[in-house]
Chain A
């Protein structure tokens, strides 16, 4: 019986964060995949507040929220695998946490808005917001990487995981709406980082390819469209 369980599917970028962290630490775990559209008894019991994935279960105790889970994994297995995920000094930790907050608060919702957009104008607006966000993240990368490969410098660190979980979502969105987002001309540093991140030993083993993500994104898009139509009918 596995001591470490993770409830969720790698197609969820938030679950992928936990998977990436466990992969970086080379920690063995049991993945309990949820069926899309259904919530298992275990999920409802382990995360009664939000009823959402991911949930990490360690020594039979649940830990919820992807950022909380990744920090937990880092603290419980500090030296394992590729070593520390959170940077060593307080200031860099603050910067990684701040940009993670920004990604969750502003950037990813703008990427989702591309998929939810019902008109060409809405789509174009959403694309512009995503691009503006990527420019900010490009600046952050240049500052944090200090000329090295990752947000963590030589090593994959917290922000690499918390933002890197979206790299194939960006590719899928690009294909979905035929626009370039993470292109070499406008965001060269991030473009290079994304390539290197995908190639990292701990990442390529676990990251779903953009084809799979695109397939999932299309299912989500259909669901969003249906939800929006149902909501309009109610008005």
Chain B
């Protein structure tokens, strides 16, 4: 089975075969969340790469008219938008009832905890990561790196309460919060390399560092989180395109 990008997607054993498409790009953390979630549920999907810069792909504009952003999940003629909404949809739509492949925890308080921290991640990480990546002022850079480190510091503490001594935020298995933060690991590592700055510092954040290694080694995650070099290539190409295009 081949996706629109021509990547060979080997059908997984015991996989669910339905018409599932994801509009997105493989480097975007919010898209990666959806792909990991589908893998966890053993749901076959096709990743349809779309144009997110103007002019945006027609299928993107049609299926997400409000925001025109990726990811979008297309399932049985329906479109679902916003990564947090999509991941919960995936968890609920492909629930096997026994809770064994559950992405969110079973207990309401634990669910509230992971929803809170996932919202915190989206509130505190993307803005400074993007600003640091594309910004040029050294003073501002130090401030932004500080913000990112502070957020990661709180997540290091949250790991204790959520993981309950096990290997993942979700306990024994990868769960909602692992996906929310883990999908950003390539982004963070790329930023560290590009800006020569330590963010996920092994000395200061030992739990998160250990968790990151375990997360990236998971079957459901392997190959979905690009490494720092892949991001560098992508950014370099984007920058080359921007400098080649005359200012409007």
A and B from one complex: yes
The stretch of B23-31, B77-85, B187-195 in contact with A is B77-85
Residues from chain A with Cβ under 8 Å of B82 in the complex:
97-98, 101
A224: interface (CB < 8 Å): no
Stretch from B86-94, B130-138, B231-239 forming part of the interface with A: B86-94
Contact A97 B85 (CB under 8 A): yes
Residues of A within 8 A of B119 (CB): 65, 67-68
Cβ–Cβ contact A65 & B115, under 8 A: yes
> Does A97 contact B88, Cβ atoms closer than 8 Å?
yes
Contact flags (1/0) for B115-142 with A, using CB distance below 8 Å?
1100110000000000000000000000
Query: Among B105-113, B174-182, B210-218, which stretch is in contact with chain A?
Result: B105-113
The answer to whether A94 and B89 have CB atoms under 8 Å apart is: yes
Residues of B within 8 A of A63 (CB): 109, 112, 116
> Does B154 have its Cβ within 8 Å of any Cβ on chain A?
yes
- Please report whether the interface of chain A is mostly helix, strand, loop or mixed according to DSSP: helix
CB–CB A91/B112 < 8 A:
no
A91 touches B80 (CB 8 A): yes
Q: Which residues of B are found within 8 Å of A122, using beta-carbon distances?
A: none
The distance in angstroms between the C-alpha atoms of A69 and B112, with both chains bound, is: 7
> Would you call B80 and A94 a contact (CB within 8 A)?
yes
Q: Given A63-B116, A102-B66: A91 and B111 within 8 A (CB)?
A: no
Closest chain A CB from B88 CB (angstroms)? 7
Expressed in whole angstroms, the minimum distance between the Cβ of B72 and any Cβ of chain A is 11
Among A76, A91, A98, A101, the most chain B Cβ lie within 10 Å of the Cβ of: A98
Q: Which residue of A lies closest to B151 (CB)?
A: A49
Which residue on B lies nearest to A136, using beta carbons?
B66
User: In this assembly, does A205 line the interface, its C-beta being within 8 Å of a C-beta of chain B?
Assistant: no
Within 8 A of A (CB), among B128-184: 154
A72's nearest neighbour on chain B, judged by CB, is B112
- Residue interface mask A99-128, B partner, CB < 8 A = 1: 001100000000000000000000000000
A129 close to chain B: CB less than 8 A:
no
Q: What's the nearest-Cβ distance from chain B to residue A177, in Å?
A: 26
How many residues of chain B get a CB closer than 8 Å to chain A's CBs?
Answer: 21
The majority secondary structure among interface residues of chain B is helix
Instruction: Tell which of B86, B109, B111, B112 touches A94, judged by Cβ atoms closer than 8 Å.
Output: B86
Contact of A134 with B by CB under 8 A: no
The answer on a CB contact under 8 Å between A68 and B89 is: no
Q: Considering the complex, give the chain B residue whose CB is closest to the CB of A59.
A: B109
Could you tell me the distance between the alpha carbons of A189 and B119 in the complex, rounded to whole angstroms? 31
A90–B93 touching, CB < 8 Å: yes
Task: Give, as a whole number of angstroms, the nearest-CB distance from B151 to chain A.
Answer: 10
Q: Which residue on chain A has the smallest CB distance to residue B123?
A: A50
Task: Enumerate chain B residues within 8 angstroms of A101, measured Cβ to Cβ.
Answer: 82, 84-85
Chain B residue nearest to A93 (CB atoms) is B92
Of all chain B residues, the one with the shortest Cβ separation from A64 is B116
Interface residues of A in 132-181 (CB under 8 A from B): 136
Q: For the complex, give the distance between the alpha carbons of A61 and B154 in Å.
A: 18
Closest residue on chain A to residue B80 by CB atoms: A94
A residues in contact with B81, CB < 8 Å: 98
B108 with A65: CB separation less than 8 A: no
**With a CB–CB cut-off of 8 A, which chain B residues contact A58?**
109
Contacts of B89 in A (CB 8 A): 90-91, 93-94
Please measure, in the bound complex, the distance between the C-alpha atom of A98 and the C-alpha atom of B81, giving whole angstroms: 7
Query: Does A184 sit within 8 A of B, measured CB to CB?
Result: no
| Bound form: Cα–Cα A75–B84 in Å | 18
Please measure, in the bound complex, the distance between the C-alpha atom of A63 and the C-alpha atom of B108, giving whole angstroms: 10
Chain B hits for A91, CB < 8 A? 78, 80, 89, 93
The CA-CA distance from A61 to B66 in the complex, in Å, is 37
Task: Please name 14 further chain A to chain B contacts, defined as beta carbons within 8 Å, in addition to the given A72-B111, A75-B108, A76-B108, sorted by A numbering.
Answer: A61-B109, A63-B109, A64-B116, A65-B116, A65-B119, A68-B115, A68-B116, A71-B112, A72-B109, A90-B89, A94-B80, A94-B89, A97-B85, A101-B82
Q: List 21 A-B contacts (CB under 8 A).
A: A49-B120, A63-B109, A63-B112, A64-B116, A71-B111, A72-B112, A75-B111, A90-B92, A90-B93, A91-B80, A91-B89, A94-B85, A94-B88, A94-B89, A97-B82, A97-B84, A97-B85, A98-B81, A98-B85, A101-B84, A136-B66
Using a CB–CB cutoff of 8 Å, the interface residues on chain A facing chain B are 49, 58, 61, 63-65, 67-69, 71-72, 75-76, 90-91, 93-94, 97-98, 101-102, 136
Which A-B residue pairs are the 10 nearest by beta carbons? A90-B92, A75-B108, A90-B93, A94-B89, A72-B112, A68-B115, A63-B112, A97-B85, A94-B80, A76-B108
